[in-house]
Amino acid sequence: MFQTMYPNQNPMQNVRLENINVNNAPRYGIKLVASAEQGQGPVLGAASFTNVKLNNSGIKAIYGEDKSPGFNVIRVSGNNW
Question: pLDDT tens for residues 12-41?
Answer: 999 999 999 999 999 999 999 887 777 777
SS3 28: strand
pLDDT confidence band for 8 (50 / 70 / 90): confident
pTM value is 0.88
pLDDT digits (tens, 9 = 90+) for 34-51: 877 777 778 999 999 999
Query: What is the number of H-type helices and E-type strands within the chain?
Result: 0, 7
| Residue 9, CA distances (Å) to 17, 26, 39, 71 in order | 22, 29, 10, 12
* Helix (H) / strand (E) containing 19: strand 16-23
The full set of domain ranges for the chain reads 4-77
